[in-house]
Structures are given as C-alpha cells and as structure tokens.
C-alpha cells in the first residue's frame, strides 16, 4: 500500500458539497483530505476482502456462543433486555451494515482492531465521495467500492416487507450523523422504500397504542437509528423497547458485536485465526492497547509500550476495558493509516481509509481516498 502526495482539485470543497458532503472540514482543518491518496495493489484488496469475510463469520459464531452460554451480562446489557436480545438473534433479524477497522502491518496480513457493528459512520465519504474523486482524478482506475450498490440491494430486500415508511433517525445537532442517516435514507428511496427522517429526540411513546410514534403520531414500525444501543437502553423510554413491535436497524443482537468485549471473546474462541490480535479482559505483558468496552471514536484509549504509557486520548468513557496487542500501522511521512472495511448484507464491498499523525484514530482523523493500481 503506497501513500501518494497530490494536488487537491480546484474548488474541491464546492465539489464535495455538491455531492452532499458538508462536514469536509473540522476545526478549520480538512477532514476530507485529497492532498494524498493510497494506492492499493489488487492482491492487497483480495486479502482485505478475504479477511472481512472470515472475521464476519467468526463474529457471528461468537454471537451464537454468547447467546448459547448466557454471556450477555459480560457485555453490560441489563438483565431486563437479555431475552429481547436473544429473540432478535434466534429469529435472525436482518443486519444492514458494519465496518471492520483493520491494520495492515508489514507482513500484509490484515488484523482486526475493532468492529463498528451498530452505528458505523464514514459511510458517505467511503461509498460516494471517494468514488467521484476517482472519476475526476484517476479515470480508468478501479476502486474497492461497491458499497452504494450493496446498500440499495439490501433495502430492496427490506422494503417489500415493511408496512408504512422506514424512519431514519440521528442525533440532533450532528451534521455528520444527519448526513450519514440521510445518505442511507437516500439508498432506501432508490430501492423503492417510503421513508421519513426525524431526530432521535422526536421519537415518542404512545402509551394507549403501545407504539413508538413520530411527531405526527404516525406509528414507527421500521426504523434505522444512528444512535448506539447502549444509550437507548438507558433512555427514559428504554423500557418501552420491550413492549413495542418496532423493527430496528441495526437489530438488537448487534449490540453484542458493537461492544469491544467481543474482542477477547473472539480471541479466546479463534486464536488461530491470522486476522486477530491477542485481546484479553486484563492487561498482559508490558505492551498493549487499553480500550473502553463501550468507547467510541478513539476516545479514552491508552497505548502502553514497554510498560510506559505513550499515548492517552481524552474522552467521556470509563471502564470496564479490554486490552489488545499493539499492532504496527502503515506509516508514511508521519501518517498512520487504518482501513475501514465495509460489509453490507453479508458482502464485503469496499474500504475507506482514515489516517492520523498518531497511532489512535479519532473522530477528527482525516479520510483519504484510494484507488487500485
């Protein structure tokens, strides 16, 4: 994987805004960075794709292990919701998407850093914006990216089974979440679904009808939420989840995979897998990465090397923690890259690359496009 230095397109900000991308700059610095790109070899793409399928299979086996062995308490899921999560898995409620964050160390074998299984973002830029960049700057080249087509494909499966509109919700005040939710909504519209958008705090409970409803008192029968399950369970209306017949995307069983407690479990079950890093519930050795089980966007992560803390990020999250083997990231000119490998409807279908000048990727880390050479 080679990092190339480029000149950005003239009026690049206006170009990406015209494509629906309005959070391209964060804190007066580019989040979308086209002054560089990554050139991936075809064999690297094949290995990333192979790793993504293998990791998805192992994660699904791990969920089955959790359910079969009554391990939901280990994931901090309140006991009142255990049977609800179990049923969601047993009836095989459909998942839309997820993103495996991978390191690509010098040996060329991808390693799983974590699985963003519930509310993965960086989707619009991976599916659409870098594709238009490719057409403008590397016409004739290919890209590991058919995310958009796969999303439309899965909504075509879902839409005929839905009564009424599919509601899409996100946190009020977050441009990124709003654009990501509405991009997903657009793919559902292209698949023929009726849709509505509302902020998550506009979801109401109609006690007389025993239903979640929107601001027009329309029943919310199917909903995609860009809002973490662990937050929802603890909301005022959380207990009503057990009474409602609403169908949720992502489904409740995905809260098992969106918790980093899954990393040590998968390691304990499948440590022979070459795509896994050693992960434990307790510190081991003198070098490791400490991550909150329910942390997000690289917050509250500590990197320990040789018994010394070399990186410690800020954030609102506390323990419990998991501890993972330190893995080298691809580095060029002081930039460290993490690959986000997307899986939609069970298909590995594209990659987005984030980079930073430190080893921990956070919410302000840059998105850098790629092509296949």
Give 3-state DSSP helix, strand, coil % of the chain, rounded to 5.
Answer: 30, 25, 40
Residues paired with residue 29 on neighbouring β-strands, in sequence order:
26
170, 241: one domain: yes
Report the pLDDT value the prediction gives residue 132, as an integer from 0 to 100: 98
What is the mean pLDDT of the segment spanning 72-90? 97
Report the pLDDT value the prediction gives residue 144, as an integer from 0 to 100: 98
357, 317: one domain: no
Report the pLDDT value the prediction gives residue 119, as an integer from 0 to 100: 94
295, 225: one domain: no
Range of the domain at 179: 2-260+329-372
Dump pLDDT digits (tens) for 348-362. Answer: 999 999 999 999 999
| Orientation angle between helical segments 147-158 and 175-190, nearest 10 degrees | 60
Q: Within a domain: residue 38? A: yes
319, 362: one domain: no
243, 144: one domain: yes
Q: Is the peptide bond before 163 cis (omega within 30 degrees of 0)?
A: no
Q: Within a domain: residue 271? A: no
102, 47: one domain: yes
Residues near 140 by Cβ (< 8 Å), separated by ≥ 6?
none
Report the pLDDT value the prediction gives residue 210, as an integer from 0 to 100: 94
What is the pLDDT confidence band of residue 197, given thresholds at 50, 70 and 90? very high
Q: Within a domain: residue 136? A: yes
Q: Within a domain: residue 288? A: yes
Please say whether the beta carbons of 24 and 34 come within 8 A.
Answer: no
146, 290: one domain: no
Long-range contacts of the stretch 18-27 (C-beta < 8 A, 24+) = 19/128, 19/129, 19/132, 20/124, 20/128, 20/179, 20/183, 21/124, 21/125, 21/128, 21/129, 21/179, 22/175, 22/179, 23/175, 23/176, 23/179, 26/363, 26/364, 27/364
Please say whether the beta carbons of 150 and 136 come within 8 A.
Answer: no
Domain tally for the chain? 2
What is the mean pLDDT of the segment spanning 337-345? 98
293, 160: one domain: no
Please say whether the beta carbons of 47 and 265 come within 8 A.
Answer: no
Q: Within a domain: residue 132? A: yes
What is the enclosing helix (H) or strand (E) of 123?
A: helix 123-124
Dump pLDDT digits (tens) for 133-180. Answer: 999 999 999 999 999 999 999 999 999 999 999 999 999 999 999 999
223, 176: one domain: yes
Q: Within a domain: residue 241? A: yes
225, 292: one domain: no
Distance CA 324, CA 313 (A): 16
By the 10 Å C-beta count (0-12 exposed, 13-18 middle, 19+ buried), 359 is classed as buried
306, 289: one domain: yes
Mean pLDDT of the chain: 96
Report the pLDDT value the prediction gives residue 266, as an integer from 0 to 100: 98
- Please state the separation of Cα 14 from the chain's center in Å: 27
By the 10 Å C-beta count (0-12 exposed, 13-18 middle, 19+ buried), 69 is classed as exposed
**Higher local confidence (pLDDT), 258 or 28:** 258
What is the pLDDT confidence band of residue 334, given thresholds at 50, 70 and 90? very high
120, 211: one domain: yes
Q: Within a domain: residue 169? A: yes
Percent with pLDDT over 90 in the chain: 98
Per-residue pLDDT for 27 more than 90?
A: no
Dump pLDDT digits (tens) for 263-304. Answer: 999 999 999 999 999 999 999 999 999 999 999 999 999 999
Q: Within a domain: residue 49? A: yes
């Amino acid at each position: 994987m080679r990092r190339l230095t480029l000149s950005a397109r003239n009026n690049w900000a206006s170009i990406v805004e015209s494509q629906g991308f309005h959070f391209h700059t964060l804190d007066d610095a580019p989040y979308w960075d086209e002054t560089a790109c990554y050139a991936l070899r075809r064999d690297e793409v094949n290995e990333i794709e192979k790793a993504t399928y293998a990791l998805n299979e192992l994660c699904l086996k791990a969920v089955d292990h959790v359910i079969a062995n009554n391990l939901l308490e280990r994931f901090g899921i309140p006991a009142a919701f255990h049977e609800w999560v179990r049923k969601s898995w047993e009836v095989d409620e459909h998942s839309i998407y997820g993103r495996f964050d991978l390191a690509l160390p010098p040996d060329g074998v991808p390693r799983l850093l974590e699985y963003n299984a519930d509310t993965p973002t960086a989707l619009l830029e991976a599916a659409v914006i870098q594709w238009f960049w490719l057409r403008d700057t590397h016409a004739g080249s290919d890209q590991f990216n058919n995310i958009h087509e796969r999303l439309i494909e899965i909504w075509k499966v879902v839409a005929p089974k839905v009564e009424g509109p599919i509601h899409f919700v996100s946190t009020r005040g977050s441009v990124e979440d709003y654009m990501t939710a509405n991009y997903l909504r657009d793919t559902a519209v292209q698949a023929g679904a009726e849709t509505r958008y509302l902020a998550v705090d506009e979801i109401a409970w109609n006690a007389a009808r025993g239903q979640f409803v929107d601001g027009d008192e329309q029943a919310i029968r199917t909903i995609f939420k860009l809002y973490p399950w662990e937050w929802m369970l603890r909301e005022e209306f959380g207990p009503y989840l057990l009474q409602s017949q609403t169908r949720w995307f992502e489904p409740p069983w995905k809260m098992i995979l969106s918790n980093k407690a899954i990393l040590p479990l998968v390691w304990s079950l499948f440590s022979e897998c070459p795509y896994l890093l050693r992960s434990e519930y307790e510190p081991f050795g003198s070098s490791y990465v400490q991550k909150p089980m329910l942390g997000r966007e690289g917050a509250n992560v500590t990197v320990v090397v040789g018994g010394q803390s070399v990186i410690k990020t800020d954030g609102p999250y506390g323990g419990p923690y998991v501890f993972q083997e330190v893995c080298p990231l691809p580095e060029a000119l002081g930039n460290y890259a993490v690959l986000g490998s997307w899986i939609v409807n069970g298909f590995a279908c594209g990659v987005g690359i984030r980079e930073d000048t430190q080893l921990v990727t956070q919410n302000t880390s840059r998105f850098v496009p790629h092509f296949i050479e």
